[in-house]
């Protein structure tokens, strides 16, 4: 692994739990790796699977998708719907040969500031070890004469 | 009753305005035909060569304007008809499925009749597809990536797969959304990957596994494996199959609190 | 007048080697996984033995399915425009059929009709065509109905016609002579071989059809024929003469590119106006446009047909829209 490589991690999080949790990480002054760019959406139910593909297409090396624990959704069932979609989409990604080790799904509540820091650190380390997502980056240039 | 006689009868009595079936085409192929006059019913044929899913026509404007139509239907077409009913795209009385047993046509006027007929038919993927799916399963992730990149590089985005699919009835497909452009138009590597990913995801839980998309592909990409895989994933994890009933809930717009997965941290 | 030679089968490899040595890429029909495709080859052994036609045509060599017209970098208050030159490589298209070779003329008619298309022309200048006459055909073929033939020379720089032990080689153009000069030992004097090709009977009277089309615009046959059409672009994309394209801008905050991609008149979005109005709202109107463009508007505007009778569209169509059959029907309507 090259020493210089710092992965870009895109995190899609829900407004009510994980975003608030990440906020708590900050207000608790917990230090964690700075590779993650957080994108806040109303609910995990709003996180279209294509957003993940778009993140890879724009150069992400890893992705975190996170929202409220089951039963805690602000909109009652958005996370349940999201979970079904992830279950199918993750399967499909793997079938198409996309590296699912680079996509982490998790539940992080508004109270779990420390857990958020831990998650980001773990994901960053593991994606750093995987290296840049070269296969996907090459796509952007292929097939144009 | 024999399909031709049945069609003649239905058209003569005015019970249907058209019979959608097959007739002889080029080089031994069968092609879809819309028979609207009783004296043209003699052209109808039905055999193993008649594989296209004719349910794809039922949601078209031109066809819906015709009035009530009958469809010469094999099991996959019947499944698609039920799925279209479940998705409220066609109404029970507007279509008269003619279940084909050899060249005999059996009227199935209600969704329940179709369901009962289908209950006797086991859904099984063709051996060649099962083989290729198993081969892909046995591959490493890198090999699967290489396989699909090699196949999808052939894609010219003619959308034959989409347009021949009975479930791709959207008047404004997400592929055509261009303000802003969501999925790239060009058939370059990224555009092709995203297109086929979206197609498979939008058919997960809705695909009746007829394989028409794969047969339609002019350059021979096994695109049907993508939707088969997504559909099988839904079946394995949520225990339901598209086309099983006219009252099926869409697997991805519902949930169970105890849906089981192993990867969410 | 063409120079004719005898090219022994074994000398074909000599010619391939000479072309490769000259820095040219050779594209030829191959049969991989049961699919007849054009692929780069270096030896004759890689060339498909038994093919009527490839699925896609060789038009990709001069009109790629996706082509970069320009690209640029963006910085605050600044656009750095990079002029994009076509990535045109010296290419030999080997083994295409006379119908398909003739298709380059129809492309040229459009790309050089008004503004000369520098991308097309740059690629065309780098392309040489070694056609191979047909000794087989199938029911989709109708070259003889549209002014072509299984041994027609138009569009080929060299035309090879299979003969006992090799080929009758007609060297037709300067590009052809330049290729022949790379391997002069391969081209033997013609012992007076007969040019034997497959017989393709004419299916319809094209001049009569073109004349008849003037009166068929509102005829019901277009509706009847196109009821089963699913409105995909397969016919247009496999066609050696379909030239329609779309220009697409792909950009983000830092950079962008403008791409030219194939488009198809069969698609409902093709004529959709920003207002929501669509002058070709139904599939019947779009199918009619396809026929008229090739058999009425092309002759009117360019003095040639926009169809070479290769039948690729018929073979590619998921619902068996047989062009030849439907044209014959229109001629009788």
Q: Model confidence over A21-64: pLDDT tens digits?
A: 999 999 999 999 999 999 999 999 999 999 999 999 999 999 99
* Interface test with chain A among C58, C66, C251, C253, by most A beta carbons within 10 Å: C66
Question: Do residues B45 and B143 share a domain?
Answer: no
pLDDT of residue A28: 97
For C293, the domain range is: 3-332
Of B31, B186, B188, the CB nearest to C319: B31
Q: How distant is the Cα of B253 from the closest Cα of chain A, in angstroms?
A: 7
pLDDT band at A3 (very low <50, low <70, confident <90, very high): low
pLDDT of residue B123: 84
C257 contacts in A (CB within 8 Å)?
A: 144
Q: What are the φ and ψ backbone dihedral angles of C234, each rounded to 5 degrees?
A: -55, -45
Mean predicted confidence (pLDDT) in C296-313: 97
Q: Is residue B260 part of a domain?
A: no
| CB-based contact, A145 to chain C, within 8 Å | yes
Question: Do residues B145 and B246 share a domain?
Answer: yes
A119 contacts in B (CB within 8 Å)?
A: 265
The CATH number linked to A17 is: 3.40.50
Q: How distant is the Cα of C191 from the closest Cα of chain B, in angstroms?
A: 38
**A2 pLDDT higher than 60:** no
| CB-based contact, A41 to chain B, within 8 Å | no
Residue of A83, A23, A1 whose CA lies nearest to A47: A83
Question: Do residues B240 and B175 share a domain?
Answer: yes
Looking at this predicted complex, what is its ipTM? 0.94
Question: Do residues B106 and B132 share a domain?
Answer: no
Euclidean distance between the first and the last CA atom of chain B, given in angstroms as a whole number: 59
How many domains does one find in chain B? 2
How many domains does one find in chain C? 1
Q: Which two tokens stand for residue C276?
A: 């929501």
Give the residue carrying structure tokens 């452009």. Answer: B181
Q: Is residue B196 part of a domain?
A: yes
Angle at C245 between CA C221 and CA B194, to 5 degrees: 105
Euclidean distance between the first and the last CA atom of chain C, given in angstroms as a whole number: 41
pLDDT band at C33 (very low <50, low <70, confident <90, very high): confident
Q: Is residue A95 part of a domain?
A: yes
* Interface test with chain A among B180, B191, B200, B264, by most A beta carbons within 10 Å: B264
A: neighbours with 3+ CB pairs under 8 Å? B, C
Peptide bond into B180 cis (omega under 30): yes
Q: Is residue B258 part of a domain?
A: no
Mean predicted confidence (pLDDT) in C60-64: 96
Question: Do residues B94 and B135 share a domain?
Answer: no
Mean predicted confidence (pLDDT) in C70-98: 93
Q: Is residue B179 part of a domain?
A: yes
| CB-based contact, A79 to chain B, within 8 Å | no
- Cβ-Cβ contacts under 8 Å between A and B: the total is 120
Query: How far is residue C3's CA from residue A19's CA, in Å, rounded to a whole number?
Result: 77
Question: Do residues B131 and B85 share a domain?
Answer: no
Q: Is residue A1 part of a domain?
A: no
**C147 pLDDT higher than 70:** yes
Q: Is residue B12 part of a domain?
A: yes
**In percent, how much of chain C has pLDDT > 90?**
93
Q: What are the φ and ψ backbone dihedral angles of B30, each rounded to 5 degrees?
A: -105, 145
Q: Do C86 and A145 touch (CB under 8 A)?
A: yes
Question: Do residues B94 and B64 share a domain?
Answer: yes
Q: Which two tokens stand for residue C62?
A: 């001069």
Mean predicted confidence (pLDDT) in C298-306: 96
Q: Is residue A141 part of a domain?
A: no
Q: Would you state the torsion angle of the CA atoms of residues B141, B145, B147, B151, taken in this order, to the nearest 10 degrees?
A: 160
Q: What are the φ and ψ backbone dihedral angles of C169, each rounded to 5 degrees?
A: -110, 120
Convert chain C into a string of H (helix), E (strand) and C (coil).
CCEEEEEECCHHHHHHHHHHHCCCEEEEEEEECCEEEEEEECCHHHCCCCCCCCCCCHHHHCCCCEEEEEEEEEECCEEEEEECCCCCCCEEEEEECHHHHHHHHHHHHHHCCCCCCHHHHHHHHCEEEEEECCCCCCCCCCHHHHCCCCCCCCCCCEEEEEECCEEEEEECCHHHHHHHHHCHHHCEECCCCCCCCCCCCCCCCHHHHHHHHCCCCCCCHHHHHHCCCCCCCHHHHHCCCCCCEEEEEEECCCEEEEEEEECCCCCCCCCCCCCCCCCCCCHHHHHHHHHHHHHHHHHHHHCCCCCCCCCHHHHHCCCCCCHHHHHHHHHHC
Q: Do C233 and B157 touch (CB under 8 A)?
A: yes
| CB-based contact, A119 to chain B, within 8 Å | yes
- pTM score of the predicted model: 0.95
DSSP labels, B199-265: HHHHHTTT-----HHHHH-TT---THHHHHHHHHHHHHHH---TTS-TTPPPGGG---TT---S---
C139 contacts in B (CB within 8 Å)?
A: 26-27
Question: Do residues B204 and B140 share a domain?
Answer: yes
Among B119, B143, B170, identify where a domain stops: B119
Q: Which two tokens stand for residue B127?
A: 């051996």
Contact B38, B12 (CB under 8 A): yes
Q: Is residue A72 part of a domain?
A: yes
Question: Do residues B152 and B63 share a domain?
Answer: no
Which residue does chain B place closest to C284, by CA atoms? B62
Q: Is residue A2 part of a domain?
A: no
Q: Is residue B263 part of a domain?
A: no
Q: pLDDT digits over C241-252, tens only?
A: 999 999 999 998
DSSP A69: P
**A1 pLDDT higher than 80:** no
Among B119, B139, B154, identify where a domain stops: B119
Q: Do C66 and A58 touch (CB under 8 A)?
A: no
Q: Is residue A108 part of a domain?
A: yes
Contact C123, C130 (CB under 8 A): no
SS3 B128: helix
C87 contacts in A (CB within 8 Å)?
A: 145
SS3 B67: coil
Q: Do B176 and C322 touch (CB under 8 A)?
A: no
Q: How distant is the Cα of A29 from the closest Cα of chain B, in angstroms?
A: 23
For A87, the domain range is: 9-135
**In percent, how much of chain A has pLDDT > 90?**
93
Q: Do B144 and A97 touch (CB under 8 A)?
A: yes
Q: pLDDT digits over B99-154, tens only?
A: 999 999 999 999 999 999 999 888 889 999 999 999 999 999 999 999 999 999 99
Q: Do B194 and A53 touch (CB under 8 A)?
A: yes
For B199, the domain range is: 127-253
Q: Do C68 and A145 touch (CB under 8 A)?
A: yes
Q: Is residue B132 part of a domain?
A: yes
Q: Do B158 and C248 touch (CB under 8 A)?
A: no
Of B32, B52, B185, the CB nearest to C246: B185
Q: Is residue A89 part of a domain?
A: yes
Contact C97, C129 (CB under 8 A): no
Of B27, B157, B160, the CB nearest to C318: B160
Mean predicted confidence (pLDDT) in C157-184: 97
CA distances from B190 to A142, B174, B216, B222 (A): 8, 16, 22, 18
Low-confidence ranges of chain B (pLDDT < 50): none
B197 contacts in A (CB within 8 Å)?
A: 49-50, 53, 92, 96
Which residue does chain A place closest to B233, by CA atoms? A88
Q: Is residue B221 part of a domain?
A: yes
DSSP labels, A53-67: HHHHHTT-SEEEEEE
């Amino acid at each position: 692994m090259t020493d210089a490589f710092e992965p870009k991690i895109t995190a899609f999080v829900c407004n009510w739990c994980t975003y608030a949790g990440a906020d708590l990480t900050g207000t608790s002054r917990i230090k964690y790796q700075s590779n993650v760019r957080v994108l806040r959406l109303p609910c995990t139910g709003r996180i279209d699977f294509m957003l993940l593909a778009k993140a890879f297409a724009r150069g992400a090396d890893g992705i975190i998708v996170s929202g409220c624990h089951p039963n805690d959704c602000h909109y009652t069932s958005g996370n349940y719907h999201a979970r079904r979609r992830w279950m199918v989409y993750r399967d499909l990604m793997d079938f198409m040969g996309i590296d699912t080790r680079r996509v982490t799904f998790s539940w992080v509540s508004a109270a779990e500031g420390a857990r958020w820091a831990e998650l980001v650190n773990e994901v960053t380390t593991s994606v750093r070890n995987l290296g840049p997502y070269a296969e996907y980056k090459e796509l952007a240039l292929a097939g144009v004469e | 009753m024999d399909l031709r006689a049945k069609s003649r009868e239905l058209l003569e009595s005015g019970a249907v305005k058209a019979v959608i079936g097959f007739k002889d085409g080029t080089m031994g192929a069968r092609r879809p035909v819309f028979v609207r006059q009783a004296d043209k019913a003699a052209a109808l044929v039905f055999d193993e060569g008649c594989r296209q899913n004719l349910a794809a026509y039922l949601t078209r404007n031109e066809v819906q304007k015709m009035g009530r139509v009958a469809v010469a239907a094999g099991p996959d077409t019947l499944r698609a008809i039920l799925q279209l009913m479940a998705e409220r795209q066609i109404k029970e009385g507007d279509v008269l499925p003619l279940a084909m047993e050899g060249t005999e046509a059996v009227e199935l006027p209600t969704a329940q009749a179709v369901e009962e007929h289908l209950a006797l038919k086991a859904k099984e993927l063709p051996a060649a597809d099962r083989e290729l799916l198993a081969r892909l399963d046995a591959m490493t992730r890198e090999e699967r990536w290489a396989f699909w990149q090699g196949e999808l590089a052939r894609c010219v985005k003619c959308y034959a797969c989409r347009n021949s699919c009975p479930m791709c009835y959207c008047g404004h497909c997400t592929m055509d959304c261009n303000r802003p452009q969501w999925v790239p138009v060009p058939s370059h590597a990224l555009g092709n990957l995203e297109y086929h990913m979206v197609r498979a995801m939008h058919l997960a839980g809705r695909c009746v596994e007829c394989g028409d998309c794969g047969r339609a592909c002019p350059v021979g990409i096994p695109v049907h494996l993508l939707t088969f895989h997504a559909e099988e994933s839904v079946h394995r994890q949520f225990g339901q199959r598209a086309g099983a009933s006219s009252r099926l809930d869409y697997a991805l717009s519902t949930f169970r609190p105890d849906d089981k997965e192993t990867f969410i941290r | 007048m063409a120079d004719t030679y005898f090219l022994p089968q074994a000398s074909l490899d000599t010619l391939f080697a000479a072309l490769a040595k000259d820095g040219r890429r050779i594209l030829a029909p191959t049969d991989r996984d049961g699919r007849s495709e054009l692929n780069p080859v270096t030896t004759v052994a890689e060339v498909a033995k038994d093919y009527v036609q490839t699925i896609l045509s060789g038009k990709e060599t001069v009109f790629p399915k996706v082509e970069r017209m320009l690209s640029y970098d963006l910085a605050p208050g600044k656009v750095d425009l990079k002029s994009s030159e076509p990535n045109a490589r010296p290419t030999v298209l080997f083994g295409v059929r006379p119908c398909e070779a003739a298709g380059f003329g129809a492309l040229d008619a459009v790309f050089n009709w008004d503004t000369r298309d520098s991308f097309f022309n740059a690629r065309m200048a780098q392309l040489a065509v070694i056609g191979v006459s047909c000794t087989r055909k199938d029911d989709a073929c109708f070259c003889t109905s549209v002014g072509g033939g299984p041994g027609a020379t138009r569009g080929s720089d060299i035309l090879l016609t299979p003969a006992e032990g090799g080929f009758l080689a007609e060297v037709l153009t300067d590009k052809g002579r330049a290729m022949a000069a790379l391997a002069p030992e391969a081209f033997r004097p013609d012992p007076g071989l007969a040019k034997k090709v497959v017989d393709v009977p004419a299916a319809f009277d094209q001049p009569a059809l073109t004349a008849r089309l003037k009166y068929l615009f509102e005829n019901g046959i277009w509706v009847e024929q196109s009821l089963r059409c699913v409105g995909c672009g397969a016919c247009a994309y496999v066609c050696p003469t379909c030239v329609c394209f779309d220009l697409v801008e792909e950009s983000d905050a830092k950079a962008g590119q403008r791409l030219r991609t194939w488009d198809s008149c069969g698609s409902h979005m093709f004529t959709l106006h920003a207002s929501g109005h669509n002058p070709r709202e139904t599939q019947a109107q779009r199918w009619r446009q396809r026929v008229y463009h090739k058999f009425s508007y092309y002759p009117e505007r360019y003095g040639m047909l926009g169809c070479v009778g290769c039948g690729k569209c018929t073979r590619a169509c998921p619902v068996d829209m047989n062009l030849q059959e439907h044209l014959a029907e229109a001629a009788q309507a």
